[in-house]
Amino acid sequence: MIKVDKKDENTFQVTVDENGSKSTYMVTVNDQYHRKLTGGILPKEELVKKSFEFLLERESKESILSKFDLRVISQYFPDYEGYVNIQH
């Protein structure tokens, strides 16, 4: 289960619960990157959730950085932006 809580306009706390084992992350996403990936159509919370779905398909929750900006995902996974970009 992935739970996304908005802390402010650009910061989100994400909790991943797998069979009672929880991990928590702080994630930021600015307006420009949000618009680039979603055209502003998808709320930031949904973009963050979709981003974690992407990450969890590729690595364990323990391998995910505890604090990061969404832009860094594409540095590790070049196909990330294509996966979450709803404008294509």
Structural domain range at position 77 = 2-84
Domain count of the chain? 1
What are the pLDDT digits (tens) for 36-66?
999 989 999 999 999 999 999 999 999 999 9
Residues 6+ apart with CB under 8 A from 48: 4, 12, 14, 27, 29, 70
Contact 12, 50 (CB under 8 A): no
pTM value surpassing 0.75: yes
In the predicted structure, residue 88 carries a pLDDT above the cut 90: no
